[in-house]
Amino acid sequence: MRPEIERAVALLRRGELVAFPTETVYGLGADAANPAAVARIFAAKGRPADHPLIVHLPAAEHLARWARGIPAEAEQLAAAFWPGPLTLILKRQPQVPNAVTGGQDTVGLRVPSHPLALELLAAFDGGVAAPSANRFGRISPTTAAHVREELGERVPLVLDGGACPVGIESTILDLSRGVPVLLRPGAISAADIARVLGSAPETVAPHAEAPRVSGSLDAHYAPRTPLQLVSSDGLLFALRNALVAGERVAVLAPTAQAIGHDLVTWKQSPAEPAGFAHELYASLRELDALGCARLLVQQPPAGENWLAVNDRLRRAAAGSGEDDET
């Protein structure tokens, strides 16, 4: 075993935290079978203790240790998308700690595809509970440096696997209710799921699940700079207004810089959804660090391909401009 993985496994076995890369975002991991270890996650993140965590497994074969009454849909989706960015909510086995499930009768499970995550999970040979490795309510980390910025010495080890390829959190599908329900959009779309199951999952209204699905709270993925979503016309209008007011502005838009000005920092965003998602959190972090009065983001097109990105942008806008995590 590589020394870095050996050290990570030793820390997990001792009930300590290890941050690690997944294909979506970096996770803040603890031994999911150890309630005291899981409690450390909530303390490090400053996250309310009733918010459930996703348990990361080394392989789909581990499902039955954590879930019961596993429906055929779960097996089909696991075969199609694991390892990969899909979390399944299933009825939990009784021994799954309440600290992991937020006291609910269900548990969120996924097998991530990042090679370093898989190496860690295989070596640990158990479930690792891991939310995104950010302080509660802030932007999810997609590099090891972001994790250090967020959590500093609160986490003894950060495994560095480079920039996360997907860049936004996993799709969450609830299979505990009889009919599949999409709780959080992600890189695996409703259409992808429909291709496997034969019909599209139901979706929930954005606010219906809070705080059970903490990602559905609006104050999530949020920069400190007030973030405004604008159309392409609205962008130029808002930009002119800000400049008239003498404000420094950061812009994230798919076009090349339209207005050159000392007060404007312009960042061009990828024109397709996967590229946009991959860069999204790093771009928000970079622009947020400038300390501008305003962050203007040109809203990507509506439509299924952009659903997950638009979901994160909407939440980032809603939660932005706060001094503290809520």
Residues forming contacts to ligand TXA in the complex (CB under 6 A) are 22, 24-25, 27, 51-54, 85, 87, 89, 101, 104, 106-108, 112, 130-132, 169-170, 172, 183, 212-215
As a whole number of angstroms, the distance between CA 27 and CA 50 comes to 18
91/315 with CB nearer Mg ion = 315
Smallest distance from Mg ion to CB 219, Å: 11
Please state, as a whole number, how many other Cβ atoms lie within 10 Å of the Cβ of residue 122.
Answer: 13
Of 42 and 266, which CB lies nearer to ligand TXA in the complex structure? 42
Distance, CA of 182 to CA of 89 (rounded, Å): 10
> Taking a C-beta distance cutoff of 8 angstroms, is the pair 91, 105 a contact?
yes
Among 169, 210, 202, 206, residue whose Cα is nearest residue 188: 169
Distance, in Å, from the CA atom of 276 to the CA atom of 281, rounded to the nearest integer, reads 9
SS3 of 60, please? Answer: helix
In this chain, which residue has its C-beta nearest to ligand TXA? 131
**How far is C-alpha 85 from the geometric centre of its chain's CA atoms?**
10
Q: How far is the CB of 293 from Mg ion (least distance, A)?
A: 27
CB closer to ligand TXA, 53 vs 230: 53
Which secondary structure element, helix H or strand E, spans residue 43, and what is its range?
Answer: helix 35-45
Provide the mask over 122-141, with x wherever binding to Mg ion is found by CB under 5 A and - wherever it is not. ----------x---------
Under the binding rule (CB under 5 A), the answer on residue 22 touching Mg ion is: no
Total site size for Mg ion, rule CB under 5 A: 1
Out of ligand TXA, Mg ion, none, which partner does residue 86 contact, by CB within 5 to 8 A per kind? none
Residue nearer to ligand TXA on the CB measure, 131 or 185: 131
What is the DSSP secondary structure assignment for residue 54, as one 8-state letter? E
Residues at the site binding Mg ion, with contacts judged by CB under 5 A: 132
